[in-house]
Structure 1
Amino acid sequence: MADRRQSLLNAALKLVEEGGLDAVTIAALTERSGMSNGSIYHHFGSRAGVFAQLYADSYARCVAAMLPALDSRPPGVAVRDLTLRYLDWVIANPNRARFLYAAPDHADPVAKQAEFAPVLAWFLDRMASGELCSIPPWALEPVAMGPAHESVRRFLLGVFDLDAARELVADAVWSVLSP
């Protein structure tokens, strides 16, 4: 059953890659995946359910790629590593990254917050100890990771060489958080 769900998500991701969010219709999913309408509704409930699960799956993979960076190394090393891992995940998974940036309204905020909780806890602990600049939790993603997000957006548009700028972007993120 998990294979069928993943197959449908893969078909949806491919459709997004080829034609954007509007290309993902139930009819297109049945044609692409070879599964019936009933299978799609059984597994996801609706088109919005497909998007919600694709968002959750992609976001979980992204966070999982970053988590190994959050260890006991000095914060500057860990923050730079987290940024590089994020950028490397985007480079390796541009379709999933493109979907995450294109479909934020399909995220379940509670699930997203739970997925991000270990990352946030690591940052809050180091902010409390003075190892990182103290910023409000809401600002961590848009403000601290802002250089990475803007670089990723440009990369996904095809106007920025993210691979060549990895170190510069990691330095920029660290400069925001450096005490």
Structure 2
Amino acid sequence: MTASVRDELLAAGLIVFDRVGFEAATVTAIRTRARASNGSFFHAFGSKKELAGALFLQVLRHYHAAMLTALNPVPGAEQGIDRLIRAHLEWVVTSRREARYLFEISRSEWDEEVREAQRAQNARLADGIDRWRAPLVARGELLPMTAAMFISQLIGPAQIFCRAFLSGRDHTDPRGEAEMLIACAIRALRPFDRINEQQERVHVSRS
């Protein structure tokens, strides 16, 4: 079986899961959407749940790639916070179906193999962010905290804010609140004296 058939099944799975949810989705609906035979499906995946786990990891890779791209070239403290939050919002809006699957639909009882792969991918994202963050912490430009705490303070509020958009309860583009989310993250992650210094420099440059 070619890789394209597997990719078509994953793409079909994303659409079907998004439309009817995991429980209601069927192998028949997925393979019909992908125009794949029953044999092709079970040659690629042992079950609907196996396909769902592979799809989860694929979507997670796409999201992490978008986030890490925001750190190239390497930015300063506030610029990095700005870029990462905007990258999250942009991905949620432009990859809405994937974002909904990742944050709203994805299952909590993945097999350990999927969980292990998820932990490895999360570690790569944390490492990528920490390579940018660590020198800034050392220079006193970002507050010292664990990687998990930093990411939760940086992206957590944006993820919560986007839930209404992803669920369809609110059709307002969440990118419209980027400035407020960035300002709040800067206050949570930057030392107070550094925020004051930055504000003074902006004031002087505008005088």
TM tier, smaller: 0.7 to 0.9
Contact 2:165 2:174 in 1 (8 A): yes
Contact 2:157 2:181 in 1 (8 A): yes
TM-aligned CA distance change 1:113 to 1:65, over 3 Å = same
Which runs of 5 or more structure 2 residues have no equivalent in the other structure?
Answer: 192-207
- Quote the offset at 1:122 in angstroms: 4.2
Contact 2:154 2:185 in 1 (8 A): yes
Superposed, which structure 2 residues align to 1:68-147 within 5 Å?
Answer: 68-70=69-71, 71-101=73-103, 102-105=105-108, 106=110, 108-125=114-131, 126-127=133-134, 128-129=137-138, 130-147=140-157
TM-aligned CA distance change 1:76 to 1:118, over 3 Å = farther
Largest Rg, 1 or 2: 2
Which runs of 5 or more structure 1 residues have no equivalent in the other structure?
Answer: none
TM-aligned CA distance change 1:174 to 1:114, over 3 Å = farther
Matched, 1:13 2:23: no
Q: State how far apart, in whole Å, the 2-side matches of 1:76 and 1:112 are.
A: 29
Structure-1-length-normalised TM-score: 0.87
- Quote the offset at 1:117 in angstroms: 3.1
| Residue correspondences, number | 179
Could you tell me the percent identity over the aligned residues?
Answer: 28
Structure-2-length-normalised TM-score: 0.77
State the 4+ residue runs in structure 1 displaced beyond 6 angstroms.
none
- Quote the offset at 1:23 in angstroms: 3.2
Q: State how far apart, in whole Å, the 1-side matches of 2:56 and 2:187 are.
A: 30
- Secondary structure class of the residue paired with 1:135: coil
Matched, 1:4 2:12: no
